[in-house]
Chain A
């Protein structure tokens, strides 16, 4: 598999989709840092680096979908996947080499954003206000999320030989996942009580009384929604981008389950796939 990885990484460093994605993340990191600093001066309010350091998590799923499908889809559209099989490489090696390359590429996109915010944002906005251990756990969570996204999109790309179709399917899938995660987040963020107003005396003084919110999720329903928010890579993305994740340690576990499940399924299906 080392031979395949060597070939893949050599192609990666010349790949337009990768270079453009890296450039976008770099510019995004610098832009958001400078913009936060300018807002701080303009409005006189404090903008923390904590608020922007994981901003890339909201963007990376889309980039990851586009990049994985383009990079892997090219193997089918240009027919070069045949060269690897004919050269005697096993199907598993071809699949895993593509997965590792795409995962590394997407991690690099995240890293370059963090490097940009670290290099520009921290000098302008100051250091983190939260404990660095928490930051480290969020970094770990975001990397695990990227790995799970890569695994999902490599699976889609390796099992569909039509590059245009796989790009479209991947982008639609990521949008649907974001819609699903946003819906779950909205349901979870519904307050438990409304503020109701009850007049209690003849002088007309009002007293506030809390009324239970029927939209508030309770019991099993809440547990399922919380699970979905932590399990869906896009749910993780929203939590990481906002740096507010109540179950920090569950998320990477779920990501690893997604990586293991999709890779095992992908390997099985790809082994039996008729290639053209």
Chain B
């Protein structure tokens, strides 16, 4: 498999604090790689290192096969774009002028691509407006447009939906999916909004205390997540002996709710509950979410 980014025993230490602790990861080409972890887990530090904003204390990483110590690493960096923490845009310039600035930084010969970039991020009507008057969502989209100015193959987004309203979150999600599917851009995206990440990512890296606890593809995650049926009844106390008698695996959620794992015979269950005068209020199929997978994983310690 081709990897856009690899990291081997990557460590970053600030004084006595290890922000990254021998982190090893692989970002496959064409993936939307979701970096999952709580605040302070090391997501932003990893991204800063990959972007060349900081140097590793030990270990190494490679972008498109070039190691960070390689003199030509800048050539690999030219193939990437990034939005680290906040959008990197001049507040006192317009959207168009910001893109012109980035085009100049990249040494692009003409500004022909600017209208298309603004259209791509949905800012075609805001090109002349100063960025200081933009909403957070607009700034975020302009930040992505700036990151896309060099036509990168690899896009790094650090918490891109932080602080956005629901509409803004949807717009960023659709933009990322569009870039990945239509332009084949590999995306490394960090977030602690797991539900949002689960709608985007093809691969996940779970990071905790500076270490990559697990790396898994979305397909593997789906297979690992267990299906369950959430049953709402008139009394969980009546439900429990029935489930025990039928030999079903379950967990009680509340006085009236329980999750039952594995396949169940609904008729048999309904009849058995009727005998106990226990009424079924509702039945819903549930999948274990990315969130519960994450909680189980981080709670389970390091690999």
Contacts and interface: CB of A to CB of B under 8 A. Distances in A.
A274 B13 CA distance: 11
Contacts of B81: 86
Contacts of A186: none
Interface in A77-129: 78-90
B104 A7 contact: yes
Given A3-B104, A6-B104, A88-B75, A83 B53 contact: no
A78 B90 contact: yes
A276 B93 contact: no
Contacts of A86: 51-53, 77, 80-82, 84, 147
Given A3-B104, A4-B105, A10-B100, A82 B77 contact: no
Contacts of A274: 14, 48, 53-55
B88 A3 contact: no
Contacts of B86: 79
A247 interface: no
A14 interface: yes
Contacts of B146: 83
B106 A87 contact: yes
A78 B106 CA distance: 18
A74 interface: yes
Contact of B106 (A3, A10, A14, A90): A3
A35 interface: no
Contact of A79 (B87, B101, B102, B107): B87
Given A79-B85, A82-B82, A84-B105, A11 B52 contact: no
B92 A16 contact: yes
B267 to A, nearest CB: 61
Contacts of A81: 88
A268 interface: no
A73 to B, nearest CB: 12
B91 interface: yes
Interface string B208-224: 00000000000000000
A4 B90 CA distance: 15
Given A16-B92, A79-B84, A79-B88, A85 B105 contact: no
Most buried by B among A11, A14, A74, A86: A86
A88 B74 contact: yes
A190 interface: no
A275 B105 contact: no
A276 B48 contact: yes
A276 B85 CA distance: 9
A83 B150 CA distance: 11
A134 to B, nearest CB: 42
B102 A83 contact: yes
30 contacts: A3-B104, A3-B105, A4-B105, A7-B101, A10-B100, A10-B101, A11-B90, A11-B101, A14-B93, A78-B91, A79-B88, A79-B89, A80-B89, A80-B101, A82-B53, A83-B102, A85-B51, A86-B51, A86-B53, A86-B77, A86-B82, A86-B84, A87-B78, A87-B105, A88-B74, A88-B78, A274-B54, A275-B53, A276-B48, A276-B85
Given A79-B87, A85-B52, A87-B102, 20 more contacts: A3-B104, A10-B104, A11-B101, A14-B92, A14-B97, A74-B90, A78-B88, A78-B89, A80-B89, A80-B101, A82-B53, A83-B105, A86-B52, A86-B81, A87-B150, A88-B75, A88-B78, A89-B74, A90-B74, A276-B85
Interface of A: 2-4, 6-7, 10-11, 14, 16, 74, 78-90, 272, 274-276
